[in-house]
Chain A
Amino acid sequence: MRTCFIEISYQVRTNTVSLKYADKRHPCWPFQTGCPTSGFLNLQKRRIVAFSCSCQRPGGEAEKHKQPLRLRTDDVFPGNNELHAQRLERSNANVHNSFVSAIGPNGGRDEQTVAGLHNDDVHAGNGLPTSAYVHLPFCKRRCFYCDFAIVAIGQRNDANSTNIDSTMGSYVTTLCKEITSTLSQLPQASPLKTLFFGGGTPSLLPPQYLSRIVDTLDQHCGFQCDAEISMEMDPGTFDKQTLKQFLGLGVNRVSLGVQSFNEDFLKACGRSHGLQDVYEALDIITGLNVSNWSLDLISSLPHQTLEHWEECLREAIGLSPAHVSVYDLQIEEGTKFGVWYKPGHHPLPDEDKSASFYRLASSLLREAGYEHYEISNYAKPGFQCRHNMVYWKNQPYYGFGLGATSYFNGKRFSRPRKLKGYADFVELCINQSSDNFSANEEYLSFYSNTVESVEDRVCDTIMLSLRLASGLNLNELSKNFGHELRVHICKSFLPFINSGHAVAVDSKFKTVPPDTFSTALSEQSASKVLKDVIFIRLTDPDGFLLSNEIISSLFTDLPIK
């Protein structure tokens, strides 16, 4: 008998629950096309009746599970529609071991601990993070729309190769120092459940450097056996060998920065790659059987038409990525686009057109079987980005590297955005962390603000959770901030529920009709009825499209100053 971990996620839209193996020792891990194993919960009976594995991998075929899962009602309906890591007793003879070595000695930790740490609810902003963001700022060049903390290094050639390596090397050294000093001062760092290499262009980093980072993390906190390790990669920056090495280091999710399937638009954005690079990168990824890969697209580019955009979306869907991120172009000050263009003015699409792009993406991707689980993210069932979910659920996370932000001990903190400033910052961290934790705290607080206020936490909860399809969890809200706020927020939502931009969902995952909701609010029995409303979520696409308007209205209404 072995304990296997299964992730259970509920889809509000289809009123179904999907399961997936979360244990890399299962033969189906990492997930392949056709996986995860999925099953259905019979919600009326409040138990899972059956699930099966359709995986073609060795051992997979044999695993036809008819055995009912025994779940307590509370496990399914604690007010959290995403249930992770329910333990399931079952036998598993075949253990797939390929990545254990890369994960390091902590990879095979005992089930008890792992199981406990699986529960997201433990970390309500003050527990220790089990997620980390690592910023790798190097790019060949700066894209015209980009205002991130990046370091442009140009095209690598014989002449500059040594220089680039030394720049990257010293950056990675500093980065590892930061990781060490941050983690070593914690009494006991929890193993990571998610790790995200963002950039910049992380794929520009030679694998040996990445290995140093992974090793450092492994040494100080380790990884959970089912850790999601994502890496942003740009076409034209890696070959098959490099990716193989990255995968060997534990990377199991790839986010490919395609942005557009149109040569002209790529050029117009100042991207460092062409369309050919995109297809080559895709070949490499699929060639190495990376199933959990994501594709980034940007809409509302200058001169973009609805036809262009549809073409782009269809092309993306045809490639069948597990995950798609669709970003609406944001014109930032200080970027080339910021100088050239004015939002809403030609050649940028106007508000109406830009809205139609969003609607088109929402409907085409949904048709193709993608869940629109977050304002700008779509995933096939089970392929939501777990790392990004940490942000939306307002859970703590480490941030390492240039300009990275972190959220732990109830504090949000942004690191310096210039290499020199970052190096100085790390130096200070080391000097102060050696034996004096509180001094370092002081230093950190010099940069960041103090612990987030209640108001800030309420705002964070609202703005982040409303980005998710599942919406705002009212049970959690009243648990953290009191029942009065729950009633208050319900009232603030009323106009949006009436206008169809938001919906209330009850404990049976049924939509509460606006009439019932508004009657309940106006009556004395409000609190009783409202108890039954567990989620309020924005509708897709109408509510999502106006999310800023709605969120800022909710902020305006907040009773706290």
Chain B
Amino acid sequence: MDILARIQAASITAPCLAPQHHHKHLQQLCFPMSTGHHFSCFYMHQNHFPVAMPGHPCRIPSGSIRCQSGAVEAPEMQDVKFSKSMLSFDMGKDRLSKVPASQIRNFSIIAHIDHGKSTLADKLLQVTGTVSDREMKEQFLDNMDLERERGITIKLQAARMRYVAKDGEPYCLNLIDTPGHVDFSYEVSRSLAACEGALLVVDASQGVEAQTLANVYLALENNLEIIPVLNKIDLPGADPERVRNEIEEIVGLDCSEAIFCSAKEGIGIQEILESIVAKVPPPKDTSMNPLRALIFDSYYDPYRGVIVYFRVVDGSIKIHDKIQFMASGKEYEVDELGVLSPGQMQVNELFAGEVGYLAASIRSVADARVGDTITSSANKAGMALSGYQEAVPMVFCGLFPVDADQFGELREALEKLQLNDAALKYEPESSSAMGFGFRCGFLGLLHMEIVQERLEREYGLNLITTAPSVVYRVQCADNTVVECSNPCELPEPGKRVWIEEPFIEMITPKEYIGTLMELAQERRGEFKEMKYITESRASVIYILPLAEMVGDFFDQLKSRSKGYASMEYSLSGYRKSDLVRLDILINGEPMDPLAAIVHKDKAFAVGRALTQKLKELIPRQMFKIPIQAAIGTRVIASESISAMRKDVLAKCYGGDISRKKKLLKKQAEGKKRMKSVGRVEVPQDAFMAVLRLEKEVV
């Protein structure tokens, strides 16, 4: 039985154990401390976490830890030996042990996508014995299906590892994984804030990429000790020396001690572990201060409420403590406390410097948002930890259930996702053509796509999404400024003085400069500057309306560079643009969900493309249907679908009406899936196709 399974099994059977065991087998263990520091004593109880212990009469002893901190006599060698042999005998329990702050190293891994972050994390778990070879799943930390499929990390996780360093001391290493996408930069920054150090992983053949830069800057902002690691040195194209220079030049990091590694082949892993111990500063031991813990992640568990991942910054947190979340003000009692290794393992108390999780029957992640500070209700901290931000959605789109009956389910699903994703914003929206749905705000495109996919995959919803849009600022004639993301809410042309739209700055390394420039040029991009870092490396900065990027920009960029191009973007502010609202009318009825805010120069092309697509996809009906694209009252493109001429079944041979009925019922089913726009029935896939097209052409 593997450790995790055993622990889980034990926690279920624990209440069955006889109470007399409770104190009888109490055993004192001492953990070796680095000299001159505090000591903690551990009392192991028999009533939790049975772990096989050699030479002990009870074959199922426990691993629940109660800690006492304070100065204690130095342990005798015998005890040390015992604890060591025991710990090496059975992994898992050791990781629950209280460790003095000086023995803790909290670090994360930052890397560009595909540079091997997850592989390295896996290897660290394996080498430290945190996860046995057998239970090793590929990319252990990315435990959402979606993440695994896309090879990206969306929600971060943490892992507590025990590592006995060359100096003979056991260390507690907490790896805090970070999401790997710019949409989640706030979450990345909070995870980084929970660490003292970071491994900067760079592909030894590909070198510094856009994301590498973005993350390094985040890490530096958080004052982290950065350990450069050159990964994939085993690959034929690897040129670690060149890449090392590149890091020094671009990032300005001292790479003299950069570690050459191949996570895949297990090369350099030991060096990395040693380097973490040696270079990453231990957390400050501020256990005596009032509790302050930084939430770096949280997720909703249907049985236990929100599970909060946190790093104790000051003080300590015990099971059954009354705690308060300083930003939301909500109070809860801790039901469950533990560490992640990487499975959840319960402990009774966590101290400053440690990383763990808690459950407190919290209803929603909004009550315990990433970046919020946990404090003790009884002994409140004076000030929350800095850096908390409300999430600001950048990209919006409408989500409508294909089947109107699913509206309730969609609302519930969004509520549930929001329990788990405080950055997700939504409000009800209704449209004549699409019925009831929600206008949702997302951190960025990936976030949007992920939410959509999770709604469809995890909640079995069938959704129509409108083309994503950004937040426009409209200067009105009455001197007010209206912010709007929904084309339908754009003030009338007569009331507008001008429209401003958000612009972004994009940065990309030299290889993709051509591709990016070409693409940006087509999309109202504006060249800003080209930086030559070395002779062979340069990066280009472009300014582009965000709206131009929310469509299929990434897809295009990837396909034009055979999947290799990388870029980063950041919001650079609002600027005036010559924008108009393009309406699509079917049989004279405006189709709200297809309305779009487009640049005047593109309106004709977009209008033509959309009307043609609709003509192709809307089946003939009993009357002629005009399809128009219009700016205000001016029609700029127009098509029409001629009336249906014939739809009749010939004969019921020998009275066989069943087949005929089946056909008619199928036809009726098809109609149910159509959306009525006035009298016109528009098939769902026509909507989707047009919305897809809109993402491309708008």
Contact = CB atoms under 8 A, between A and B. Distances in A.
Contact of A556 (B647, B650, B658, B672): B672
B649 interface: yes
Contacts of A407: 655
A531 B671 CA distance: 29
A22 interface: no
A548 B648 contact: yes
A135 B656 CA distance: 12
B655 A551 contact: no
Contacts of B284: none
A354 B658 contact: no
Contacts, number: 109
A555 B665 contact: yes
Nearest to B652: A391
A358 B649 contact: no
B657 A548 contact: no
Contacts of A403: 654
Interface string A447-480: 0000000001001100110000000000000000
A404 interface: yes
A228 to B, nearest CB: 15
Contact of B646 (A330, A355, A376, A391): A355
Interface string B363-401: 000000000000000000000000000000000000000
B644 interface: yes
Given A405-B655, A407-B655, A460-B661, A376 B650 contact: yes
Nearest to A553: B671
B657 A325 contact: no
A20 interface: no
A352 B645 contact: yes
Nearest to A296: B651
B72 interface: no
B623 interface: yes
B651 A351 contact: no
B312 to A, nearest CB: 56
B668 interface: yes
Interface residues of A, number: 48
Interface string A523-552: 000000000000000000000111111011
B657 A460 contact: yes
A552 B668 CA distance: 5
A135 B648 contact: no
A414 interface: yes
Given A552-B671, A555-B665, A405 B658 contact: yes
Contacts of B303: none
A399 B654 contact: yes
B404 to A, nearest CB: 13
Contacts of B679: 495
Contacts of A325: 651
B396 to A, nearest CB: 33
B645 A330 contact: no
B642 to A, nearest CB: 8
B668 A545 contact: no
A328 interface: yes
A148 to B, nearest CB: 6
B660 interface: yes
A352 B657 CA distance: 26
Nearest to B655: A391
Nearest to A407: B655
Interface in B396-441: none
Interface string B653-693: 11111101101110110111000000100000000000000
A354 B646 contact: yes
A327 B645 contact: no
B622 interface: yes
A199 to B, nearest CB: 9
A405 B654 contact: yes
A133 B654 contact: yes
A460 B659 CA distance: 12
A196 B646 CA distance: 30
Given A412-B657, A459-B665, A555-B664, A548 B651 contact: no
Nearest to B663: A548
Contacts of A501: 622
B644 A549 contact: yes
Given A391-B657, A552-B668, A553-B671, A327 B648 contact: no
A499 interface: yes
Contacts of B663: 548
A354 B664 CA distance: 20
Contact of A351 (B622, B646, B657, B664): B646
A412 B654 CA distance: 12
Contacts of B646: 328, 351-352, 354-355, 358, 545-546
Contacts of A329: 650
A376 B651 contact: yes
Given A328-B648, A358-B646, A463-B661, A556 B671 contact: yes
Contacts of A556: 668, 671-672
A359 to B, nearest CB: 9
B622 A549 contact: yes
Nearest to A412: B658
Contact of B645 (A135, A397, A414, A545): A545
A89 to B, nearest CB: 36
Contact of A405 (B656, B664, B667): B656
A235 interface: no
Given A414-B656, A463-B660, A501-B622, A546 B644 contact: yes
B644 to A, nearest CB: 6
Contacts of B622: 496, 499, 501, 546, 549
B661 A459 contact: yes
Nearest to A459: B661
A321 interface: no
Nearest to B670: A552
Given A459-B661, A555-B665, A375 B648 contact: yes
A447 to B, nearest CB: 12
A198 interface: yes
Most A-side CB within 10 Å, residue of B623, B655, B656, B670: B655
Interface string B617-634: 000111100000000000
Interface in B594-649: 620-623, 644-649
A328 B679 CA distance: 28
Contacts of B661: 456, 459-460, 463
A403 to B, nearest CB: 8
Contacts of B664: 459, 463, 548, 551-552, 555
Contacts of A352: 645-646
Contact of B647 (A196, A327, A391, A547): A547
Interface in A317-350: 325, 327-330
Most A-side CB within 10 Å, residue of B648, B649, B661: B648
Contacts of A496: 622
A328 B648 CA distance: 8
A463 B654 CA distance: 16
A367 B644 CA distance: 26
Interface in B65-79: none
Contacts of B665: 459, 552, 555
A161 B356 CA distance: 91
Nearest to B669: A556
Interface of B: 620-623, 644-658, 660-661, 663-665, 667-668, 670-672, 679
17 contacts: A198-B654, A327-B650, A327-B651, A328-B650, A405-B654, A406-B655, A412-B658, A414-B656, A459-B665, A463-B661, A546-B646, A546-B648, A547-B648, A548-B649, A549-B667, A552-B665, A555-B668
Given A351-B644, A407-B655, 7 more contacts: A148-B653, A198-B653, A391-B652, A405-B654, A555-B667, A556-B671, A556-B672
Interface of A: 133, 135, 148, 196, 198, 325, 327-330, 351-352, 354-355, 358, 375-376, 390-391, 397, 399, 403-407, 412, 414, 456, 459-460, 463-464, 495-496, 499, 501, 544-549, 551-553, 555-556
4 shortest interchain CB distances as A-B pairs: A555-B668, A355-B645, A552-B667, A355-B646
